[in-house]
Each structure stands twice: as structure tokens, then as C-alpha cells.
Structure 1
């Protein structure tokens, strides 16, 4: 069967590359598989449901491939180096961390893609941070907070549209309902990063990266930003993200060949294996990354985790959890349990889509029984299951952006204040400010 073959390939890859997170998820899958056999499920039925759920990873895997190719093609075309060059010239070094949060928030809102924002503007901002000696974990945290602002509150976001679809709420009604809940967390996060910016100032006094970019790239301002402009336009027109990324990759490749003087097969090599043209030099430590190959770990992780969710469905874990939390008395307690389920789902499913689906499936009947409006249910999922996976180290929502930005997937978490403060603010609001009557 295909699933057995793919699992064998996955475990061989995990062992060969010493991919610890992948090994951990695979061991969990194996333990659940054994548990399911003990509970009198047939081997063939478990293989069948693993294969059924494993297939659901295909769409996400295709996005991973495009994201990896996008980053390396933008490095080859001069798009990311151009953003770094002009960013260093115009960014106020005293507010760089705050700027990183604000600009990624804006870009992610227009793109509607957390991974797309991290792999483009995020990579460029990290390049500036490396060249200016700023704490990379703090900058990475500000970028990750920014990309999940758009992922939560953009009409183009696949996550926001998924929530709207699952809950039966119009996407624009959902977005409108979320405005009030995001104001306080966003302001508090901005203040937090403003304070950190004053303590971690970008050093541009002896910054030589700008000269190195000029020496190695043709910064034709009319051409190098075409890949960026195209992807923003396509996103605003609501064109499928894979098409918009594909067009941007093609344009970047053309610019790489005809403007930057790269050989066609060299650009193709960058797209597959990553951009490491300047490896071994100071410049190469900043201008590097991307490639389809860089997405292999994430691909293995998402495939195994999707199969794992199939096993959990088979042994009725979701129904067990639902029964355990059904006796809820207050609105604050209801949201607290939604947050708890989101964290558990995010830890088990290891990707944001599965987190959202599992949370919605477990909590839907409870919200309906308590006569909570669907638009409120959608808002609670956005404020928990959409953002919380980004601070679970082995979840794709955390692991992949960290891999793109070149930071560890644990040390940034204390500084990802936007992710932490959102559910806290909502719990305080429901418990102490709104003061609704007890739930039925």
C-alpha cells in the first residue's frame, strides 16, 4: 500500500537526517497505532484511515514547495537583497523591532499567507537584523507575531476562510466581528516591541552589507520588485495562492537570468536546493536560504501528523475529550476550554489546519448547546486555534517560519507577546468585563 511505502520513506529520511521532531511525531503515531490495534481495530482499517487522512496533506505540501522556491528565486532576482538594501537606508534603527512587527502585519494582511510573508519580507528583515547585530530571537518573534496577524484577520487568508467555512459564517462578518478583540492585544504588542526596540537598537554605523549588495546585485528598482508587486496584486485579486506564487517565481527567475546575469540552470538549482551562492563568506551568512529541499522536514512532519489524526478519529479520542468538557457554566470557562482544546489539538495534529478542524469538531456542539452565536464561535476559534499553533515547537505553524527565518523554534516564544496576550485578553474580557449570564 502507498501509505506503508511513504511511511518507510519518511522514517528512512528522518533517521538519515537525524530529524528529531519528525522522529518524535512518528513514535507518537506508532504508539497510537499499537493502542488502536489493542482496542480491536484491524490492521487494514488503521492503514486505510491513515492513508485517507495522509492524502489531506497534499494541498499543504504543494504550498510548502512553492514557498521554498519563492524564497530562493527572490534571492536570485535581487528582490530580497533589494528590500534589505532599502530597508537599511530608510528604517529608523531605534524602532527596528517594532517596524518588523508592523510591516509584517501589513504584508501578511495583503498576502493572506503567513508562510508567504515569512519567506519573503520576513527573510529580508532577518537579513537586516543579522547585519545590524540585533537579537535574532526577538526579531523573529516580532515577525512571527506579524505574519499571524494577517493569517487571523485577512479576507485572503486560507485559515480565516477555513474557519468561516467550518462555522458557516460569512467571511466578512467574521472579520468585522474580530476587530474589537484585536485592538488591545495589537496595541500592547506594539508598546512591548517599542520598548524592546529601544534596548536592542539596529547597528548601521559600520554596516557593510549595503556595499556588498551593491557589489553583487544590479538593484534596478523598476525590475527587482516586480515579483513582490505581482504577488500582492494577485493576492488582492483573490487569485489562488499557488498561481500567484508560481507567477512570482517565474518572474523572479527571469529577472535572475536577464538582470542579475545568472545562468538558467543555476537558478533552477537555487529553486530546488536553495540559494547558497555566497556560502563561506560574511555575505553568505545573510543572503541565503530557501529551496524546495528546505521544505522536506516540514513535508514529512505534515504527512505523518495528518495520518496520526486519522488514528485518533478511529479510536474516538475526539468524542472522549468532548464528553469531558461538556459541563461548562460561564462564557469565560467556555473560551478557556476552547484554548485548551486548541493547544491539545495543535500538539497532536502538528499543523494549523488540523488544529482548527479538531477544535471546531470538538467544540461545535458545546457552543450550540450553550446558544452561543456562530459568529462568536468563529471568533473564539480565530483567537485560539489560528494563532496558538505558532508557539508549539513541533507544529508546522511554528517550525516552518522558524526554519525560514533561521531561528530556533523555542527561544523566540517568550517574545511572541501577540500570540500569548490574545487569549489572555479574551479570557479577561469574557470573565470580568462582559459579565454575561451563566450559560445554560
Structure 2
């Protein structure tokens, strides 16, 4: 694959302008599904790629290459769908909802949700897995307590991303230091400078909102008690129902491969649901494919007692529930693959690179480049690799430790992903939690505050580490 020329800056920028206009008008105003809009933007990108010398075969190869890199994420998505369906079938998620309603104080709910999901995410290394399990249960509690689902989703997503950013088991947490040449744990420690204060501010806001919220229900209200009674009627809660969750934590502790452990947890969940609840084993396998539904409960149980809340709460999951997200990945990667192969991304980043004259501008350029690619591709890995490679020399030139770069890559990549409506994470959270990006974004406070802290540190010099050679030179002069 050989380009006959580099794209001009206008051509490169135009691909992103077309994406913004097509998606902004079509998705936000006319409510057109995001998938065909991404394909329209990809068609224009293909036209620019053809102008600079790429054949259709070259573009297909570029798209295939991008999709190959996305396969681990796709496998995790399918596994998440399976695990949600099987964990509801086993009673694991309903039991977490049941005891959550019994134990959680509504005024502290948002903070509690953040902390619980953050712990699970740090332990497992996946924001998706923690959000689809503990997060789903917590959203069920929020709905029944008549709390704001937008704020609850913001807290849950923030907890998931917090863990995904700081867990040594996370793919992006390992990728960022690998690209720029930093020790993994040095990278994690350096990220605390932005992550901890951003999270503290989020917790303060959630506490204030929690104290001011006049919840329409408490754990003693009739509607809550009715929901708990209905869950108790369907499922025979016992300690075995925690086993699927324990398997996930054990796999994380032993650093075992994520997908096989998730599948093992799901299979165990099916057996638990069969023996504990008296469900048909065949229905357990169906739940892994199509999700759980109340038709799977024994005929002896009077289905007329179930409220719409219970039906919507339990009828979810299954591998096929992830097909919309996977189709979106294919459409998004059609655009991302063509834009990258045509050199448009490189042209834009090089133009930004030439205008850097200070540490603040360097960090700002890193953030702009990362956000640009994240909103284009809908995943963080591409932005981490591309921006990391292009900016590494500039950080070295200014005697800055590479961990400054790796931290900023995650602040503007991993943390921003939930805000891309057409991105994998944005669609995933909407499918799993039932809340759109437009509703939850302002409440996912730590996700955008990390960028603010990164810029403040770049301007003041606080939290910015010098390179070892610069430190040695300073100590020698001193």
C-alpha cells in the first residue's frame, strides 16, 4: 500500500468535519441510527483516500487491520452479554438488587454506587464487566428508590472507568506505558495525580446531590417491599449465587485470561440457577444467547403478580444483545481504518505538533489529538498508540518523563470514551444501563475533570515529572 501523495491539511480536516456534520445532524437532530451515518462519513473518507492514491483493496486491508485489533474487545462484549443473561438466571444480579434495596441508604446511593463499581472494576480490569454486573444491579436499586437514573449512571460509569484506568489488569492501562516506555506501576502511580482529585470532587458533588434529593421511595415503602417480595418469589437466594462473582474476582487476582473466566462464571451460573431456582437447564443456555425472561420461571409461580419494573429489570442480557454494539464497531472502524491508512490523522497531528512551544501547549496538543481520535474511532487504543508514538519525541525534547505522556493519553482517552454517543462504550452503557450519553455525561464528573487537572498541572508545573536525565543534570548543577 503506497500513497501517491500525502493528504493536504484541508483534505484531512474535511474528513472529520464531514463526520461531525453527518453525525451531528443525522443522529442528534433527525434521530437516524448511528451505523448508516458512520458509513456515509466513511464513504467520504474513502473518496479522500482514493484521491491520495489508495485503492479499494488497500482500504479493505486497512479496515480489516483495525477490526483485527478490535477482536479482543468484541470477544469481551459477547462475554458480557452472556454473563448478564446467566447471572440474572442464576439469581446473582437479583440477589445484589434485593440486598442493595435492603442495605443502601438512598442519600448515600450515588457515592456508594461509584465505590462499589470502582472496586469491582479495579479487581477485574474491565469497566464494561463491572458496569454490566454490579452497575446493572445498582441501576435497578436506583430505579426502585425513584432516584435520578442519569446521576446514578454517571456515578456507575465513573466507577467503572476509574477501575479500568487504575487496574493493572486493564488493557489500556498496560498499553499506554508500553507505547511510551514506562513501568506499569510507575504509570499507575502517576495517574493518581489526576484521578484521585477528580474522583474526590465527584464524590463531593454526589454527596451534595444525594442529601438534597427527595427520593420518592425509601427501603420501607410499599413499592420497594413489593419488588423485593417479587424477586424473593422468583429466586431462592443463597450464598451459592455469589459464586459466579467470586470466580470473576479469583480470575482477576490470578491474572487469568478475562474471556475464559467470564465464560466459566456464566456456565457455573447456569448450574446454580437450575439447582437453586428450579429453572430448566435448557432455559439457562437460552439465557446465555437471548437473555433471561420471565417465561423461564416455573409455571407454579403466579406470573400475574410481577410488575413492569420486575419485567424490565430482569428481561435483559444474552450474546445477541451485543449485536448492535458490534455492528457499530464495524461501521466505526470502516471510517477509522480508511482515515488512518490515507494519512489524514498523521497530517492533522503533525500540523498540531509544529505549533507546540510550551509544556502547556504540549499537553493540550496531546489531549486534542487523543480526543479527536477517540471521537473518530470510538476506542482508546488507537489514540494511545498513534498519539503516543507521535508525541513521545517532543516530551523527550522538553526533558519530561514519559509517564507524563502515558498519563495524559489515559486522561484524554480512557476517561473520555463514555462521552462518544456513537462509540463502543457510549452505546454499550446505553444498552446496559438504559441511559443516554446526553443524560449522564454531566454526572460522570471524574471522567472530564481528569483533563482539567492535566491542563492545570501543565500550566503550573505541579504533578509534572522531569526526565531522569534532566533530574541528574539539575542535581549535578546543584
TM-score (norm 2): 0.84
Shift of 1:122: 0.4
> What does the per-residue CA deviation read over 1:167-201, in whole Å, with 9 as the maximum and x for residues that have no partner?
22221121122223322112111101101111335
Structure 2 segments unaligned to the other structure (5+ residues): 1-30, 296-305, 471-478
Say if 1:321 and 1:362, in contact at 8 Å, map to a contact too: no
- Asked if 1:99 corresponds to 2:83, the answer is no
> What does the per-residue CA deviation read over 1:256-278, in whole Å, with 9 as the maximum and x for residues that have no partner?
11111111221121111122326
- Asked if 1:72 corresponds to 2:90, the answer is no
Say if 1:330 and 1:438, in contact at 8 Å, map to a contact too: no
Query: Structure 1 stretches (4+) deviating beyond 4 angstroms?
Result: 435-440
Shift of 1:19: 7.1
In structure 2, relative to structure 1, the CA distance for the partners of 1:25 and 1:284 (3 Å cut) is same
Partner of 2:395: 367
In structure 2, relative to structure 1, the CA distance for the partners of 1:433 and 1:77 (3 Å cut) is same
Give the secondary-structure state (helix, strand or coil) at the position aligned to 1:96: helix
Say if 2:89 and 2:292, in contact at 8 Å, map to a contact too: yes
Structure 1 segments unaligned to the other structure (5+ residues): 1-17
Q: Write the distance in 2 (CA, Å) between the matches of 1:237 and 1:293.
A: 30
In structure 2, relative to structure 1, the CA distance for the partners of 1:117 and 1:182 (3 Å cut) is same
> What does the per-residue CA deviation read over 1:117-155, in whole Å, with 9 as the maximum and x for residues that have no partner?
011000000110111111111100110111000011111
Partner of 1:10: none
Counterpart among 45, 52, 55 of residue 58 in structure 2: 45
Partner of 1:210: 228
> What does the per-residue CA deviation read over 1:379-436, in whole Å, with 9 as the maximum and x for residues that have no partner?
1112211111111111112221221111122211111111121111221122135398
Partner of 2:272: 255
Say if 1:318 and 1:362, in contact at 8 Å, map to a contact too: no
> What does the per-residue CA deviation read over 1:53-94, in whole Å, with 9 as the maximum and x for residues that have no partner?
222222221111100000111000000000011111111121
Q: How many residues align?
A: 422
- Higher-Rg structure is 2
- Asked if 1:243 corresponds to 2:251, the answer is no
Say if 1:274 and 1:290, in contact at 8 Å, map to a contact too: yes
Say if 2:395 and 2:405, in contact at 8 Å, map to a contact too: yes
- Asked if 1:284 corresponds to 2:301, the answer is no
In structure 2, relative to structure 1, the CA distance for the partners of 1:306 and 1:90 (3 Å cut) is same
In structure 2, relative to structure 1, the CA distance for the partners of 1:216 and 1:355 (3 Å cut) is same
Counterpart among 344, 347, 350 of residue 323 in structure 1: 350
Say if 1:336 and 1:427, in contact at 8 Å, map to a contact too: yes
Counterpart among 334, 347, 354 of residue 382 in structure 2: 354
Partner of 1:338: 366
The within-5 A match list for 1:21-420 is 21-202=34-215, 203-204=217-218, 205-206=221-222, 207=224, 208-220=226-238, 222-277=239-294, 281-326=308-353, 327-420=355-448
Give the secondary-structure state (helix, strand or coil) at the position aligned to 1:259: helix
